[in-house]
């Protein structure tokens, strides 16, 4: 995460990405004030708390007062814990992202290319997920109709 004149950018070098490619993304300007506040106010407090506890301070973007550097495993673990608390099921960040993009494509099929980019899939793979979701939804509707018909026949 790099601060530039126009706001924040995420820069991922090829050796840091799953697809082996360099990525540079400009962060939505709406996030500039909270990111500025995090680095000016909150992160220094985390660094101080870590030092007070004798913890190892890191240059990592996100810090925890218990473990120091929050790596992707810790973030994923915390995400799963929070989704379990909030919605009753532990979801990984990847599963959550896929669910959100699948729902977006279900509502508007024109979003398939954007969903593919978010999930780092090809448009074809994303379309397969979309089609599978549509088939599953149609199956649920069909099963509901069958249940209603069976109940009507029993009366």
Convert the pLDDT of each residue in 44-102 to its tens digit.
Answer: 988 888 888 887 777 777 777 776 777 778 778 888 999 999 989 998 888 887 777 77
Q: What is the pTM of this model?
A: 0.51
Q: Could you tell me what percent of the chain has a pLDDT over 90?
A: 12
> What does residue 36 show for φ and ψ, rounded to 5 degrees?
-60, -45
Residue 155 has pLDDT above 80, yes or no: yes
Which stretches does DSSP call E strand in the chain? Answer: 2-4, 7-12, 23-26, 63-64, 68-69
Mean confidence (pLDDT) of the chain: 82
Place of tokens 């509502």: 107
Higher pLDDT, 118 or 43: 43
pLDDT of residue 123: 67
pLDDT of amino acid 88: 92
Query: What sign for the dihedral angle of Cα 16, 21, 24, 30?
Result: negative
State the Cα–Cα distance between residues 60 and 66, nearest whole angstrom.
Answer: 14
- Residue 12, helix vs strand vs coil: strand
The 3-state DSSP class for residue 150 equals helix
Is 134:106 a contact under the CB 8 Å cutoff? yes
pLDDT, tens digit, 9 for 90 and up, residues 124-141: 776 777 777 777 778 888
């Amino acid at each position: 995460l790099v601060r530039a004149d126009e706001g924040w950018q995420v820069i991922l070098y090829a050796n840091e990405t799953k697809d082996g490619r360099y990525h540079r993304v400009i962060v939505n300007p709406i996030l500039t004030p909270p990111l500025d506040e995090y680095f000016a106010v909150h992160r220094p407090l985390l660094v101080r708390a870590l030092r007070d506890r004798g913890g190892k301070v890191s240059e990592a973007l996100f810090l925890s007062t218990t473990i120091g550097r929050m790596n992707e495993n810790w973030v994923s673990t915390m995400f799963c814990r929070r989704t379990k608390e909030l919605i009753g099921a532990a979801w990984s960040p990847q599963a959550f992202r896929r669910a959100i993009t699948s729902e977006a494509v279900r509502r508007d099929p024109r979003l398939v290319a954007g969903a593919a980019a978010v999930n780092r899939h090809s448009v074809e793979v994303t379309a397969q997920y979309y089609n599978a979701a549509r088939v599953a939804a149609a199956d649920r509707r069909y099963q509901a109709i069958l249940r209603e018909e069976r109940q009507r026949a029993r009366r």
